[in-house]
Amino acid sequence: MPANNSKPIKSALISVYSKDGLEPIIQQLNALGVQLYSTGGTQSYIQKLGIPVIPVESITGYPSILDGRVKTLHPAVFGGLLARREPDHLAQLEAYQIPEIDCVIVDLYPFEDTVATTHDEAEIIEKIDIGGVSLIRAAAKNWSDVVVVASKEEYSLFHTLLTTQQGAFTPENRRELARRAFKVTSNYDIAIFNWFNEGTTDISFKYSIHRSDILRYGENPHQNGVFFGEFEKVFDKLNGKAISYNNLVDIDAAVQLMREFQVGKPCFAILKHTNACGIARRNTLHEAWQAALACDTTSAFGGIFVTNTKVDLPTAQEINKLFYEVLIAPDFDQDALELLKKKEPRILLKIKGFDVPKRSFRSLLNGVVEQDTDLKTETEADLKTVTKRVPTPDETGELLFAAKCCKHLKSNAIALVKDRQLIGMGCGQPSRVDALRQAIAKAHAFGFDLNGAVMASDAFFPFPDCVDIAHEAGITAVVQPGGSMKDQDSIQACDARGMAMVMTGIRHFRH
């Protein structure tokens, strides 16, 4: 029997876009003797089930008008929703012959799905739900008297409560459903704002409040962590343990890095703590994997692996020999997947696309900063030769590869590249000289010959010392943004040593 503080549903207004999962709810409401009201397609759906339903227009006295834009927006509907179940409000309902509505079930027009599938502005505009959002807000505001189901994601919970509690809902049930309802409308409004805001200079704070409980823990095991977002829109998780905060941060870094290399020959990258310790592009994925691993065989242990192409069995067999946290790929051959899934804790992610958000956020102090995501990728047109010697065509390709690698290392950052392979990297150093010395030391530690290699720097050289050190190591060409008051000193140092230097005018700091 219902608890003493529970209230039964006696009437329900149902107006939904998606009918999936709706039939059991309608059948159960009917079995409990609940009076149903509905509109348009939902009304026809209920009638086809052979269940009695009252059209909303019989309450309002108006048909659906303006191509369905106005169906429920009427005092006879909202009065029944917003009235407190107390003598004064109930007397007004009786005076105006307005029925009480105890429950609202709504599933909004699919605005986000429409934006994702078309650029037709008229079609997108028609998917901005007005009546549905208004019904949800009214019902959720009056949650102590009205039960609200704001999306098909809540159908299962509502049906369970409806069945097990014989149509009666406790205050806790009602409040929880109201909380979920405002979450739905908040997300909906944010999605609409984002679409209207696209291409403007308004960097207003906006975010997704889709709560996804995918994290094992926060940055450390003693810290709880929650991800607010829709992970499943980016990945299909094919295998592995729950994702941790650090996994998620590394996964984000891996996606942003491989976005730079998604087109062209097979590319493989290995990241550790958001920094790439191995990147290589080759004619086959197996060769790309071997070259990426050779960049730093030590740091690869426990790393994040990402590639721009389908993982085949020969590559999977080699990967499987090494301990790793996450492997990201656009697809997996079936035999490769079966092999990799045998290591149950290993996280395998099938990425749906290497697109990244155009805005990024970070929490600082008692607030949040927002900025445009660094989506700039240098092309040959961005390279301005500033030295007497012009880079050879092969050096130009190497410099562009190095610039992409360097962009995704923490500042101060230096990337050393040879034969489309990251053979040395220095990152997170307090000085650019330290970063360069670190990169050279790593290259030597793993047996690389730096003669003929190229160097990329994420910011300008304030002094010519890095040029001197690079030349001594055998580096022949440099790419950097420029912008120092002493740029000419570095240029002259290159000229004196027969090195080529190009400037891009674009800095890529990562803090």
- Supply the DSSP string of 362-425, one letter for each residue: EEETTEEEEEE-------GGG-EE-SSSPPPHHHHHHHHHHHHHHHTSPSS-EEEESSSBEEEE
Range name among 34-48, 126-140, 202-216, 300-314 with the lowest pLDDT average: 202-216
Backbone phi and psi for residue 150, each to the nearest 5 degrees, phi listed first:
-100, -5
* Predicted pLDDT at 2: 46
For the domain 236-351, what is the CATH code? 3.40.140.20
Query: Averaged over 27-39, what is the pLDDT?
Result: 91
Check if 236-351 and 380-503 are the same fold.
Answer: yes
- Largest Cα–Cα distance of the chain, in whole Å? 96
Which CATH code for domain 380-503? 3.40.140.20
Q: Is 250 exposed, middle or buried (0-12, 13-18, 19+ CB in 10 A)?
A: buried
* Sequence-distant (≥ 6) Cβ neighbours of residue 199 within 8 angstroms: none
**Mean of pLDDT values over 434-443:** 96
Stated pTM of the model: 0.72
Domain locations in the chain as residue ranges: 7-197, 236-351, 380-503
On the question of pLDDT at 15 being above 50, the answer is yes
439-472 tens-digit pLDDT: 999 999 999 999 999 999 999 999 999 999 999 9
Q: Return left, alpha or beta for 97; rule: phi > 0 is left, psi -120 to 50 is alpha, else beta.
A: left
Helices (H) and strands (E) in the chain, counts: 18, 23
Residue 4 has pLDDT above 80, yes or no: no
CATH topology of domain 7-197: Rossmann fold (3.40.50)
- Exactly one of 89, 127, 141, 237 is catalytic; which is it? 141
For residues 218 and 450, the model is more confident at 450
pLDDT band at 486 (very low <50, low <70, confident <90, very high): very high
The answer to whether 216 and 226 have CB atoms below 8 angstroms apart is no
**Strand segments (E) across 77-145:** 103-107
Alpha helices in 153-266 (DSSP H): 155-164, 171-197, 245-259
> Encoding tokens for residue 349?
């992610």
User: One of 89, 273, 310, 343 is an active-site residue; which one?
Assistant: 273
Enter the tokens of residue 188: 């909906």
Query: Among this protein's residues, is 19 annotated catalytic?
Result: no
Q: Is 321 an annotated catalytic residue? A: no
